[in-house]
Structures are given as structure tokens and as C-alpha cells.
Amino acid sequence: MPRTGIAHLPLHTGKAPRWLFEKMRRLAREIVVAIVTEYGAEEFFKRISDPVWFQSFGCTLAFDWHSSGLTTTVCGALKEALKEVGNEVGIFMAGGKGREARRTPGEIETLSARLGTDPDTLVYASRMSAKVDNVALQDGYQLYHHTMLFRPDGLWCVIQQGMNADTRYARRYHWLSTGLEDFVCEPHVGIISDGTSKTLNMVADESAEARRIVTYLATQRPETTVGELKKLKSLTLPAAHPVDPPAFSETHLKKILARTSDLEAQNFEELIGIEGVGPQTIRALALVSELVYGAGPSFEDPARYSFAHGGKDGHPFPVDREDFETSITVLGDAVRKARLGRTDKVQALRRLSKFLS
């Protein structure tokens, strides 16, 4: 699974109790070390970027399987765990929820300076993945959580989540650098959610011509494009038309188009990377692209399990603190002994895994 996709989760409030978060951090630490020891860091990135595996990981850490809070809490516990073992396993993590999400580029730069690596590619990937899921994929979810895991050699994974205040659902997006050839063409696969919404999907393969026309329109004189939009706003479109004429500010749109016209983006990725180009700009240009030039974008929404220790809210059963502590101890002991050449417990865990699968 070179790149992975989107999970759809109901919005839950509340926080994990401090005692539970501490156990989550400790168990997350042992699981990361165990996977990297047994299979290597690449395998850990492959797994954490799989939305189903990530969900199972959260369940193992005793968080609510179907909660939006699973994303933020698991990422928080994982970030704290990697502060302890990051140098050991060669994996580092930046970002978080709200203000922490906006500090991701700065954290990447700080960590890269410490590691003696160039942060530019990672910072670009962080910013572009967020821009794509907020601007190029308009599914009604506003991003509020963004984290990036990376290695000094440039391998990276992004886990971010958006919220839809109307439906009270959250949606999680996963990115993985392995095999990623284009930020704006089919960057998500492995969709696991049945929940769909009215979506403008400019990153679908079917939107290739629309991306080209939208980029072309952004390089033209602002008056020309805004004039076409004013004509379209006066038309009565079919009720089922997926893109309604946007309620745009003519002054603001002219200002943004003046900037895009001057910068002359060579492709859609460059266009959405321009400061100020947001959802309304892309939506307006997509409408002109479809109705004037006949290059319509895709409107397909790309979005479409097990407990080990219980769940935070007592479902399906309360967290068993003693069992949780035993899991941390046994796994940690097995990994430490494996590194010393005593692999009996690791082999036993492997056999148990095969028996249960």
C-alpha cells in the first residue's frame, strides 16, 4: 500500500484521562520499537499510513474505535513516545492539533537542524498535503489536526484530520512519500469510509483536464475570468449541478487572480501553492472551466474492526489497567531480550499472531 487514504469518524468531545494517556504513550513506545526492531522503519511507516492499521493501533491503545478523538490522542501519545525513542529508531514527529498543527514547519526545521538534514522537502510536503486536502479536495471538512512523521533520509508520512461542524463527523487523511509521484493526482487510495459528501475533487485522475484549464484561467487577466463568472451567476443551472456559482467577493477574487496572473503557475500544484489561493478561488475557476471550456472536474468523494484493552468510554468494556500494564511490560521485555539475542518471547508472539489471524 504505497499511499493510503481517508477514515470517516463521528465527532466526540472530552479528553483521555491522564493515567490512560500515560499508558498509551508507554505502549505506543514499545510497539514502535518492536516493529522497527523486527521489520525496519519502512514497515512502520507503511503501517501507520494505513487508516485501518492506524485505527487498530488506536484500539490497542484502548481509545474509542469510532471516535474522532482517536486521531489526535493517538498522535499525541505517539509524539511523546518518539521523544523518548526517536534517536533509537530513527523516526521523528512534528505537529499536532490546532496551534501545534500550524507549528509543524518550524518543528521540522528545528529537528532537521539537530539531525543535520535539509528540511525544505519535508516542509514543502507538509504544507502541500494540507493545501491539497483543504483546497483541492473540497469535501466539507476543515483541517484542524496535522502531524508529520519522518526519517533523516527523507521518508515521511502525514496524518491529518478535518472537521465538518454540520454533520459532526471528522475525516482523517493519510499520506506516505513512498511511491508518491504527484501531489495533485490521486494522492489517496485505500478508502475505508462509507460516508460521502458533496465534493469537488480536483485531485482525481478524471480532473486532469480541469486542472489544466483552471491553471490556464489563473494566468489570464483577472477582468476576463471574473467577467465570465458574473455571466454564470446570472444563469439558472440544473438543480443537480454539483458546483453552484460561488458567492465570491469580486474585489477579493480580482486581487487573488492578479497575483496568480503575475506569477504564471506552470501547473495546478504550483497554483494551489500560491499564497491566498483557497477553496473559493479553485471553486470559481472550476465552474468556469466546466461551463465555458467543457473541462469538468470529478465530483466523486474519495471516502467510502478489534479491541485489546477496552475503550476510554467503557465500550465495549472498561479499560483493564492491570492487563494494559502487563501488555506494556511483556512487549517491552520481549523487544529488549530480542536485541540481546534472546528471541524466545518474540517468537512466541509471532506464533500467537499466526494462531489468531
Other C-beta atoms lying within 10 Å of the C-beta of residue 262: 9
Asked if pLDDT for residue 206 goes beyond 90, the answer is yes
pLDDT digits (tens, 9 = 90+) for 141-153: 899 999 999 999 9
CA distance 312 to 68: 13
In this structure, which amino acid lies at residue 74? V
* % of the chain surpassing 70 pLDDT: 74
Higher pLDDT, 345 or 232: 232
CA distance 16 to 66: 14
SS3 label, residue 244: coil
Asked if pLDDT for residue 194 goes beyond 50, the answer is no
CA distance 48 to 57: 8
Question: What would the mean pLDDT of 80-99 be, rounded to a whole number?
Answer: 96
Asked if pLDDT for residue 238 goes beyond 60, the answer is no
pLDDT digits (tens, 9 = 90+) for 33-48: 999 998 999 999 999 9
Phi first, then psi, for residue 150 (nearest 5°) are -155, 165
Question: What would the mean pLDDT of 157-165 be, rounded to a whole number?
Answer: 89
Higher pLDDT, 162 or 197: 162
Asked if pLDDT for residue 78 goes beyond 80, the answer is yes
**pLDDT tier at 193, thresholds 50, 70, 90:** very low
Asked if pLDDT for residue 296 goes beyond 80, the answer is yes
Q: Can you give the pLDDT at residue 11? A: 61
> Degrees (nearest 5) of the Cα angle 331, 97, 149?
50
Asked if pLDDT for residue 32 goes beyond 90, the answer is yes
Of the listed ranges 33-37, 217-221, 291-295, the least confidently predicted one is 291-295
SS3 label, residue 97: strand
Asked if pLDDT for residue 351 goes beyond 90, the answer is no
Q: Can you give the pLDDT at residue 333? A: 72
Domains of the chain, by residue range, sit at 6-199, 205-293
Q: Can you give the pLDDT at residue 329? A: 76
Q: Can you give the pLDDT at residue 197? A: 66
Question: What would the mean pLDDT of 221-234 be, rounded to a whole number?
Answer: 83
Q: Can you give the pLDDT at residue 305? A: 36
CA distance 52 to 70: 12
Higher pLDDT, 118 or 337: 118
Q: Can you give the pLDDT at residue 352? A: 53
Asked if pLDDT for residue 316 goes beyond 50, the answer is no
